[in-house]
Structure 1
Amino acid sequence: EALEAQITQWEAEHGALQAQINAAGDDYTRIQTLAAALAELEASLDEAFDRWSELAERAENGEN
């Protein structure tokens, strides 16, 4: 449940960062900063989704 909540939070942050990038216009420094934060967040999300898949597979197989 904690992982699911974290994923939900990170997905919301992802959307907010995307919106900020879209609104940044010609402020390339801001876009670069936001893009770096977005890349870090996407890496965290990828790891969380991998973990989620692993846990789901274990649950299907009856493992702890």
Structure 2
Amino acid sequence: VDLLYLCGGGIVSHPDGPGAGVRAVQQAWRAAVDGIPLAKFALSHPELARSIEKFGDGKAA
């Protein structure tokens, strides 16, 4: 898996605080490594779901 995440504003600006931001990054990373679609993984991971609501999923509109 080729994966790079540049942590910063997405963590400290998470709607539920920086701790939730860290968990959201960990959850997104796990989904990528395990080959699980981000939207599907977010259904059972609330920190990730809230992050996607605020910042989007990285896909171009």
- Which bin holds the TM-score, normalised by the shorter protein? 0.3 to 0.5
Richer in helix (by share): 1
Q: Please, what TM-score do these two structures have when normalized by structure 1?
A: 0.38
Larger Rg: 1
Where relative contact order (Cα < 8 A, 6+ residues apart) is larger, the structure is 1
